[in-house]
Amino acid sequence: MKSYSEGERMASPPTAVPWIPPVLYTAVLAGGIYHTAVSDGPVHLGRAAGFVAGLVLLLTLELVQRRRWSTSTPARPAAALLAARLVLFSAVAVLDGSGVSRALFVLVPFTAYLAFGRRTGLVCGAGCVVLLVTGYTLWVPRWWVRAEYVSDLLMFGLGLALAVSMAAVAVREQQGRARLEGVLTELASSHARLSEYALRVAELSTADERNRVAREIHDSLGHHLTAVAIQLEKAEAFRELDPQASAKAVSDARWSAGRALTEVRESVSALRDARPFSLTRALTDLVRHLGDDHLTVTLHITGDETEYDAESLTALYRAAQEALTNAHRHGRATRIDVTAAYGQSTARLIVADNGRGFTASTAARPSGTGFGIRGMRERVELIGGRVDIDDRSTPPAAGGVVVTVTVPRSPLLAGSVA
């Protein structure tokens, strides 16, 4: 965009109603020609030619300005053009014997108002009145007692008032259009920004959904597939030594596979009709099928889960699955105690085992570098909960790992868990 110095700041267009000057020039030309035609005195061809030439120059000046500056004229050229018009108005008025050309001076405050503002327009209007009164005083003795001159002065003043009023209306209209264009431009810009933000939100939502699905697959199908693998390994190992234990392991593997399929169906149903989820029932079912002759799993539940949000309960269940799988497979625990306590504002899940702990296990670390631990933390922290892992495998501790998961009653209470 072109910049202008203080002296070349952009002014308003010379007129917001482009037909006014040409119409007035044409009317003055017609009036002058008619007066010359009907006048009884001698015709001065030189004066008449000068009169017509002055009006033609005025029309040419309008055309040149509009072609050179189609929208706005810089302040300095606008001032020069106004001065040129004033000189031509004066010349035409001197050459016009009819006096009609005095009407041209109403364009002075009109043009000045549009180009430089209200104050300049009023000053120019007052100057035109003073100029006319001065001319009358110098060339018309006692003009103030002659009705035709007083009438001309009053009509000229009325014309100036109308011209200034019309200029004020035109300026307000221009300002209104400029404001409307600015609003439309801002709306278009805001729409573009909103579209960009919507695209970013969609991208972030897609990434969040991918992470959620990854956690869901790991915590649900991953857990059960791991259990199936463990049970099948156990069945293979005890096939000859303890057929009964081998058969039970196969049965447990079959249950884990069935449970995996059930959880997939429940997830689909939850997406369709938001079927309520029971953490107590799910934990009871999970613990019952996990215990065997080599692993004792106990479950203690206190409080009521009725008012808890399904997302919070699901987070606790996935954490229990992960903690039990780690204790059984990686920690080689022989006893696991699971405690679920529903409080007034938070629920707490504690999974404590007597296994080898993280020190002896290479599958997971307390820092949460494994995908399972990391996924557990992400799921719980997203709803405002917290995961604490206490590795007790280093002497003189008793051994094992204690996983404590705390979640709020509702994800809306995120940040309230101390």
DSSP 331-389: S--SEEEEEEEE-SSEEEEEEEE-S-HHHH-SS--TT--SHHHHHHHHHHHHTT-EEEE
Domain boundary among 139, 164, 193: 139
Q: How far apart are CA 314 and CA 283, in angstroms?
A: 11
Least confident of 73-77, 78-82, 326-330, 364-368: 364-368
231 belongs to a structural domain: no
342 belongs to a structural domain: yes
360 belongs to a structural domain: yes
Domain boundary among 93, 110, 139: 139
Q: Is residue 13 helix, strand or coil?
A: coil
268 belongs to a structural domain: no
- Strands of the sheet containing 346-353, edge to edge, are 296-302, 335-342, 346-353, 401-408, 386-391
Confidence of residue 13 (pLDDT cuts 50, 70, 90): very low
State the total domains in the chain.
2
Q: How far apart are CA 114 and CA 72, in angstroms?
A: 11
Inform me whether the pLDDT recorded for 360 exceeds 80: no
Over residues 202-213, the mean pLDDT reads 71
Report phi then psi at 234, rounded to 5. Answer: -65, -40
Q: Is 99 left (phi over 0), alpha (psi -120 to 50) or beta?
A: left
Over residues 80-104, the mean pLDDT reads 82
114 belongs to a structural domain: yes
Label residue 71 exposed, middle or buried (CB < 10 Å: 0-12, 13-18, 19+): exposed
Per-residue confidence (pLDDT) for residue 342, from 0 to 100: 94
Inform me whether the pLDDT recorded for 370 exceeds 80: no
| Domain hosting residue 64, numbered range | 6-139
Q: How far apart are CA 391 and CA 334, in angstroms?
A: 16
Inform me whether the pLDDT recorded for 347 exceeds 90: yes
Cα-Cα-Cα-Cα dihedral of 189, 190, 195, 200, to 10°?
Answer: 110
- Tell me, what CATH number does 374's domain have? 3.30.565.10
Inform me whether the pLDDT recorded for 215 exceeds 70: no
Of all residues in the chain, the percent with pLDDT exceeding 90 is: 11
Inform me whether the pLDDT recorded for 300 exceeds 50: yes
Which residues sit opposite 336 in a β-bridge? 297, 353
Domain boundary among 119, 139, 159: 139
Over residues 159-163, the mean pLDDT reads 83
Confidence of residue 277 (pLDDT cuts 50, 70, 90): confident
Residue closest to 352 by CA, chosen among 336, 364, 367: 336
Inform me whether the pLDDT recorded for 358 exceeds 50: yes
Pairing outcome for strands 386-391 and 401-408: antiparallel
Per-residue pLDDT of 216-269, as tens digits, reads 666 666 777 777 888 788 778 887 888 888 888 788 778 778 777 777 766 665
